[in-house]
Amino acid sequence: MNKERLSEIFKALVSDEAETLGSKRATDLARSIKPDASIREILLVAQKLDPANHSITPKIALEFVRTLVEKSGSQRLFIPFAFGVDVDEFRSVVSELDYVVPTIRSSVRSAAFRELVSEKTGIAPVPEEVVESSQYDVVYSDFALNDICNYSAQKQLVEKSLSRLGPNGLAVFIFADKIVYWETAKEMLEAQAKQGVFVSAILDLTDGLYEATTPIGARALIFTRKERDSVFLAKLEKGADVSAIVDNFLSGTSSSDSDALGRWVKREAFPRFISSENERRRRRIAKKLERAYDGTILPISEISDAVVEARPTGTPFDEAENDVYLLKHGKFEAATNLNELRLAPENYVQILANQEKVLPEFLKFFFNTDKGAEICVLSSVGVACELTVEHIKKIEIPVPSLETQRKILNVYDELNQIELEASRLKNLLRETPSSYAQVTEAIKEINDRGDKFERWIESLPYPLATILKRYAASDDDQHRQETLFFFFEAYSIFAAAILSAAFRAPFFRDAVVPDVELEYFKKSSFGSWVMLDVALAKEIRTRVGNREQTYSTRSAFHTEDASLVNLLCEEETYSILQSASNYRNSWKGHSGITNDARYSDHVRTLHGYLLKLRERSKNLYDKIRLVRPIRLKRAHGEFINTVESLTGSNPIFNKDEIVGDALDEDKLYIHVVDTNDAFELPPFFLLKNSPAEVKNACYFYSRLEGANSRYVSYHFEGAPESTEEGEEAFDYLQEILERGNEE
């Protein structure tokens, strides 16, 4: 073939790329090719123009097939999908070679490719009728390359090719992982088995062998008409001893030197053709994890009561206190509460932990580690790395004693608190660099968790701080659990008061609060307050995000600080409260719990949510404070309000002045710090100086009783309930919830 003709064929071969990437580049590359260049050398030049469409079968794979052909004594070879290098590689080792170049590329490229292969090898492609009337000793094709990723085309070629395989023949097909693991591919293999053709060997081709393409994993499958009770597993990589692998396969023996050189395993051990490399890696990781966790490696089936898939309709899962939700694909992240799920429930599987063996939080901890995710990947199938219920049951994880699990989780919580405090200090230094001295002192004490936690408590509004103070002072886990639930419910009511106060502004007159019924508040619950929070915050966030509405939205909160509004309406905050509410509903159904360790586990879970809430609130309570007016005077035409700042757990409050509108001494207000703006809160909670022996007892709205309202206290046990005349809190809720439905 002269240089001019070779140049013409080359430019036709890369015509699509030349049109897209530049014909001059194609012309220059064509001129660089020597007339005596091999097909591989020509395709390597084509790769420079467009690597993805001119991939080449790795040399190690071709060497394996050539060695297999030579040592098996095969003489008739058929290549149903030829890439040229294979024809060139095998023509000298067989007496007869038939090949086909299907028209999968454009007709121009296909014609050019046929001519190139014919000219360089001296062998022309065969017409289809010749193939249909022939039998072959060996059939070979590489389907891992990007040019033929259409599954239906591969399936058709494989089925036709295998029908031409002789009684003692061998068929070698290389598939990309995404083909080998597809359910439809498994069906194809089972169908071939019914036709008397069986997979006898699986060889891993290591990632990176197809250098010109995105790194892919591939498997070479060897089919025979002889069924064996075992499957041969080996590994093809650069520098592999191909001759030894072929000898072990043909002789039916396993290598005593290395698994990579081949071993025979029972066929039922690999029903889905999981790679041997994955199996070996799982075993290595399991041994390391056993030492790292000082635990026993156990399958999920032995440490769970059940593994459940989501129902297609209705409620996806029945929630329980021992449930763990594992994402079936992707990052394989785990959660212990439906409200934590990042995707729709149907993407998860529910694992019901056997709490006599493993804590749900420990399962979550493990799956959310890098090694946990790796174990899931190695146990999955398909290009999308899917996990089924059966796969999950077989996943093996390290399980230390329950005592050790609790210690691991407690230390992890401590580290989260240290990380949280470090993050807060970073934010403080960024916003106020002159506070470096304060930050320096805080760094010295960063490991003193108790002190930091106490400081956070004392930064909260009084109705919330008093509850957390009781939690911090208690050493009884059952009492601590109950107190944390009180805190989360009180927080949801406190948030609802702030959001409702802003929502009452005329700007929100047309707003509708979906999915929240007024009926819920005739006898309110933790869940109903959270539902209200979620709905109000979502509507406000929508308006803040609208450039035309953001100013009016901020004005409803009496601020120009968009970050303040974002903090008050932060989605994750209400997700945390929803999770706490879900846990209370779940654990309430287990009234027979008497195990102190179980209460300790519950407290640890809830304390984790407390830390998350602390993280999400950031510097919110540096920006706003709860105040109660105690005196009013007028001077120089302005009202001067003396107020108590209701912050911290100490009922002796600091006093301050707010100049502006006259404030009602019977009301509570939110004061926007560094401004003279304060807005009135609805009476969803009250501060009372009665009974006489208790100053500043706090009560939260609970329910209607006739024409009056019933309030409950979460921190004062001496008089846990109080009745207030009228229905002011309920009326306020009615105005909010029915405003958008007015005719």
Tell me the whole-structure pTM to 2 decimals: 0.56
Residue 240 has pLDDT above 70, yes or no: yes
Residue 530 has pLDDT above 90, yes or no: yes
In a shared domain, residues 262 and 234: yes
Residue ending a domain, choose from 219, 247, 273: 273
Residue 493 has pLDDT above 90, yes or no: yes
Residue 428 inside a domain? The answer is no
User: DSSP secondary structure string, 340-362?
Assistant: G-SS-GGGEEEEEE-TTT--HHH
Please give the sequence-ordered ranges of beta strands (E in DSSP) within 15-148, or none if there are none: 76-79, 96-99, 136-142
In a shared domain, residues 740 and 712: yes
- Residue among 659, 661, 666, 708 nearest 683 (CA): 666
Residue ending a domain, choose from 14, 35, 53: 53
Which pLDDT score, from 0 to 100, does residue 21 have? 45
d(CA 407, CA 404): 5
In a shared domain, residues 667 and 705: yes
Question: What tens digit of pLDDT does each residue of 36-75 get?
Answer: 888 888 888 877 776 655 668 888 999 999 999 999 999 9
Q: What is the mean pLDDT of residues 88-98?
A: 93
Please tell me whether the peptide bond between 691 and the residue prior to it is cis, using omega within 30 degrees of 0: yes
**61-75, 385-399, 685-699 — most confident range:** 61-75
Which pLDDT score, from 0 to 100, does residue 228 have? 85
Which pLDDT score, from 0 to 100, does residue 179 have? 56
In a shared domain, residues 325 and 233: no
The count of domains in the chain is 4
Which pLDDT score, from 0 to 100, does residue 594 have? 56
Residue 292 has pLDDT above 80, yes or no: yes
- Residue among 382, 375, 165 nearest 273 (CA): 382
In a shared domain, residues 588 and 633: yes
Strands 697-705 and 685-688: antiparallel
Which CATH number fits the domain that encloses residue 161? Answer: 3.40.50.150
Domain that holds residue 537: 448-743
- SS3 assignment, position 705: strand
Residue 352 has pLDDT above 80, yes or no: yes
Residue ending a domain, choose from 209, 243, 273: 273
In degrees to the nearest 10, what's the CA dihedral of 77, 79, 84, 85?
Answer: -60
Contact status, residue 222 vs residue 234, Cβ threshold 8 Å: no
Residue 510 inside a domain? The answer is yes
Which CATH number fits the domain that encloses residue 290? Answer: 3.90.220.20
- SS3 assignment, position 657: strand
Q: How confident is the model at residue 359 (pLDDT cuts 50, 70, 90)?
A: very high
Which pLDDT score, from 0 to 100, does residue 78 have? 95
From the CA atom positions of the chain, what is the Rg in Å? 36
- SS3 assignment, position 539: helix
In degrees to the nearest 10, what's the CA dihedral of 288, 291, 294, 296?
Answer: 60
Residue 304 inside a domain? The answer is yes
User: Each residue of 271-297: b (16+ CB within 10 Å) or e?
Assistant: eebbbbbebbebeebeeebbeebebee
Q: What is the mean pLDDT of residues 113-137?
A: 88
Residue 743 has pLDDT above 50, yes or no: no
In a shared domain, residues 12 and 63: no
d(CA 125, CA 136): 16
Q: Where are the alpha helices (DSSP H) in 263-336?
A: 276-293, 300-303
In a shared domain, residues 246 and 291: no
Residue 174 inside a domain? The answer is yes
Share of the chain above pLDDT 70, in %: 87
Question: What tens digit of pLDDT does each residue of 432-488 get?
Answer: 888 888 888 777 666 445 467 788 899 999 999 999 999 999 989 999 999 999 999
Q: pLDDT higher for 414 or 172?
A: 172
- SS3 assignment, position 16: helix
Question: What tens digit of pLDDT does each residue of 634-659 get?
Answer: 988 889 999 999 999 988 899 999 99
Which pLDDT score, from 0 to 100, does residue 250 have? 95
Compute CA distances 535 → 45, 498, 540, whole Å.
61, 13, 9
CB atoms under 10 Å from CB of 695, counted, come to 12
Question: What tens digit of pLDDT does each residue of 151-168 get?
Answer: 667 778 888 899 999 999
- SS3 assignment, position 300: helix
Least reliable range by pLDDT among 149-158, 365-374, 490-499, 712-721 = 149-158
In a shared domain, residues 266 and 285: no
Contact status, residue 629 vs residue 669, Cβ threshold 8 Å: yes
Residue 626 inside a domain? The answer is yes
Provide long-range contacts, Cβ within 8 A and 24+ apart, for 97-102.
Answer: 97/123, 98/126, 98/130, 98/131, 98/134, 98/136, 99/123, 99/125, 99/126, 100/125, 100/126, 100/128, 100/131, 101/125, 102/153, 102/157
Contact status, residue 197 vs residue 129, Cβ threshold 8 Å: no
Q: Let me know if 320 is exposed, middle or buried by CB neighbors in 10 A (0-12, 13-18, 19+).
A: middle
Residues 6+ apart with CB under 8 A from 382: 178, 181, 182, 183
In a shared domain, residues 26 and 116: no
Share of the chain above pLDDT 90, in %: 40
Q: What is the mean pLDDT of residues 135-147?
A: 82
Residue 421 inside a domain? The answer is no
In a shared domain, residues 136 and 229: yes
Residue 269 has pLDDT above 50, yes or no: no
In a shared domain, residues 212 and 324: no
Q: Where are the alpha helices (DSSP H) in 380-476?
A: 389-394, 402-431, 436-444, 449-459, 462-473
Strands 323-327 and 348-353: antiparallel
Which pLDDT score, from 0 to 100, does residue 184 have? 59
Q: How confident is the model at residue 701 (pLDDT cuts 50, 70, 90)?
A: very high
Residues 6+ apart with CB under 8 A from 84: 39, 40, 43, 113, 116, 117, 120, 121
Q: DSSP letter at 311?
A: P
In a shared domain, residues 644 and 628: yes
CB atoms under 10 Å from CB of 490, counted, come to 25
Residue 342 inside a domain? The answer is yes
Which pLDDT score, from 0 to 100, does residue 162 have? 92
Residue 415 inside a domain? The answer is no
| Sign of the Cα pseudo-torsion (723, 727, 729, 730, in order) | positive
Least reliable range by pLDDT among 16-25, 132-141, 230-239 = 16-25
DSSP H or E segment with residue 630: strand 624-635
- Residue among 506, 512, 530, 510 nearest 520 (CA): 530
Which pLDDT score, from 0 to 100, does residue 299 have? 92
Residues 6+ apart with CB under 8 A from 500: 532, 536, 682, 684, 732, 733, 736
Average pLDDT, the chain: 84
Angle (CA) 569-572-576 rounded to 5° is 115
**141-145, 301-305, 414-418, 593-597 — most confident range:** 301-305
Contact status, residue 685 vs residue 494, Cβ threshold 8 Å: yes
